[in-house]
Amino acid sequence: MFSPHKSFAGTYQQVQVQTGIEAASGPKLVGMLYDGALEAISTARGAMARGDIELKGRQIARAARIVEEGLLGGLDRDRGGELAANLDRLYRYLARRLTEANLRNDDAALGECAALLAPLRDAWSEIERPA
């Protein structure tokens, strides 16, 4: 059945997200990527617990895309030195663990990914704060 409320709400949310991205600074964008990955992992864990395999798969795929395309793809390996190299290894590990979590319905792997991303998100939130 057609639900205009849901359609309009979805459009509003897309516009709101797009506006937030366009207005964000570099550190803010990285923070948004961390938040998005953590939100997707949390939603996937809830879906997994309820047996909602379709939603679980979509959210894990979303988290993996954020890690691979956003975080890993955004690294400046030429200027980032050891920090970029360490983040590169971590992001590749996270992408692998997310895939394993999806294939094996492994909540512990999702929890591990969230536990690895949360401190990074917290550190970036400190960068975002005005001095």
Convert the pLDDT of each residue in 17-44 to its tens digit: 444 444 455 678 889 999 999 999 999 9
Q: Please return the burial class of 128, using the count of CB atoms within 10 Å of its CB with bins 0-12, 13-18 and 19+.
A: middle
- Which pLDDT value is given to residue 128? 65
- pTM for the whole structure: 0.80
User: What domains can be seen in the chain, in order of their start residue?
Assistant: 25-128 (1.20.120.340)
